[in-house]
Structure 1
Amino acid sequence: MHAFDWLNHQFSFFGLSVYWSDFIGNIFALLTVVLALRRLVISWPVQILGSVCLLVASLNVHLTGNAGRQIIIIVAASWGWATWRRNKANEGTVVVGWASWPVRLVLVAAMIAGTGALGAFLKAMNWSFYPGAPWWMVLCDAWIFTGTVIAMYTQARRYVEFWFAWLAVDLVGVPLAVHSHLYFSGIVYGIFFFMVLAGIRDWAKRTGNQIASPRNGLPEQLEGALSG
């Protein structure tokens, strides 16, 4: 028996059958949000550990899109970890700011286009849920995947909009997790909703109306082009 096989086992959580991987991964995810709200660099390695567990949980219930999402999170968290460490070393603390309106429009367009493109790909390959899964389920899977990529990018760049991206993910993630019998994930997504609202308030208060500089947002060349 492999050392980590127990992650694939279920236990009863107030009458609900919950995978250990789902449970532990979401505990780490909750801790990640708490640490990110406080702008602590340690939030990134905690997020990586949680995503490893949630990757196992997603594979258990054949959520291919969500499994791929965890891989993206692990890769993006490694990059975000490096950017936050560098920013803290330069500024003495992790400095956050708002994205400019042109950048916001790019992020919204990327969310819509990414969801449509990824949804079509997952549907064509039958890689989301089960063969022949309805379009609405596949698009939900794609929405969460795309939203996570955008959330990870904006978090690494220290945009306040990072919290809004997670809010969009949560609004779809709760019913999808329950429908997929990942009940603990559904509960955690619900808790995330209120923590995200607190995150928006806290980061916004710290920034006022400050717009993130090119160094804190998109690469300088793209930011300059968007800003005219």
Structure 2
Amino acid sequence: MTGPLGWLLTAQLDVAGSPVLVREIVGNGFGLLSALFGLRRLVWAWPVGMVGNALLLTVFLGGVFATPQAHDLYGQAGRQVFFFAVSCYGWWRWSRTRRAGGPDAAAVTPRWATGRERLGLLAAAVVGTAVAYPALAALGSWGPLPDAWILVGSLLATYGMARGWVEFWLLWIAVDAVGVPLLLAGGFYPSAVMYLGYGLFCAWGLVSWWRASRTAGQRPDPVPPTYLEAVA
């Protein structure tokens, strides 16, 4: 394959004596930009993130796309596919909220999840990781247990972002805490650095959404119209 796309699929850089794919750097750049848009509650967070998902899918299937690391992280690769699907839902949900709120409205109003929603997240995290681990191990994924949590935790975080739950930042921090050592051990250095930086960014996002949720909770409810006003 020739042209810009062919160059993007094959170009490498030498970093500290190790080859690094340009598309891994670019894909993570799109991921970070998506997170920034998400922090600001902009609908663009979703399509930008989807471009990064497509690029990183090719990075983590080393046996298929002949990456320098030659490791197949099926959990990391699979989550890009699921990200794309969940992002379609998030894009639709945020766009609908944005249209309903008017030109100056945010695409989502942050709030803390209810107790029932948190239990649902916990149950999904435990069951999902328990199911994903043997599946990834059978596929030959490198580091199947941490890879399983990264897959499940990332999906839950993305879904939580679509719903506007403040907790999604905490889920991302938990994913990053596992992802950094795994990626460093596998030689995916740009992704490991991105995860580390993203963990710090998530702490900032958590504070920002927490404050926004408090502001939203302090807004007075609109005064209901009187009967005559409603009729008029």
Question: TM-score w.r.t. structure 2 length?
Answer: 0.82
* 1:164 aligned to which of 170, 195, 214: 170
- Equivalent position to 2:139, from 112, 126, 141: 126
Residue from 95, 107, 111 that aligns with 2:125: 111
Where structure 2 has 5 or more consecutive residues not aligned to the other structure, the ranges are 63-70, 218-232
**What residue number does 2:209 align with?**
203
| Residue in 1 that maps onto 2:146 | 140
Residue pairs, 1:59-138, within 5 angstroms: 59-60=61-62, 61-91=71-101, 92-94=105-107, 95-123=109-137, 125-129=138-142, 137-138=143-144
Tell me if structure 2 keeps the 8 A contact 1:16–1:183: no
Larger Rg, first or second structure (1 or 2): 2
**Maintained 8 Å contact 2:74/2:139:** no
Shift of 1:210: 6.6
Q: Find the partner of 1:152 among 158, 163, 170.
A: 158
Contact 2:133/2:148 (8 A) holds in 1: yes
1:109 to 1:210, Cα distance in 2 relative to 1, 3 A? farther
Give distance in 1, aligned partners of 2:32 and 2:17.
22
Asked whether 1:193 is paired with 2:199, we answer yes
Aligned-partner Cα distance in 1 for 2:148–2:168: 18
Partner SS state of residue 123, structure 2: helix
Q: How many residues align?
A: 203
Write out per-residue CA displacement over residues 162-203 of structure 1, whole angstroms, 9 at most, x where no aligned residue.
Answer: 111111110011011111111010000000011000000000
1:25 aligns with 2:27: yes
Name the CA distance, whole Å, in 2 between partners of 1:96 and 1:30.
20
Q: CA RMSD in A?
A: 1.7
Q: Is 1:55 matched with 2:61?
A: no
Q: Which runs of 5+ in 1 are unaligned?
A: 130-136, 212-228
Distance in 1, Cα, partners of 2:21 & 2:36: 23
Distance 2:187 2:130 in 1: 25
Q: Partner of 1:208: helix, strand, or coil?
A: helix
Q: Secondary structure at the match of 2:19?
A: strand
- Specify whether residues 127 and 2 from structure 1 end up closer, same or farther in structure 2 by C-alpha distance, changes over 3 A only: farther
Give the TM-score taking structure 1 as reference length: 0.84
Residue by residue, what CA displacement relative to the aligned partner does 1:111-149 show, whole Å, maximum 9, x if unpaired? 1111111101222x23412xxxxxxx2110100000111
Using the aligned pairs only, state the percent identity: 35
The answer as to whether partners of 1:73 and 1:149 remain within 8 angstroms in 2 is: yes
SS in 1 for 2:55: helix
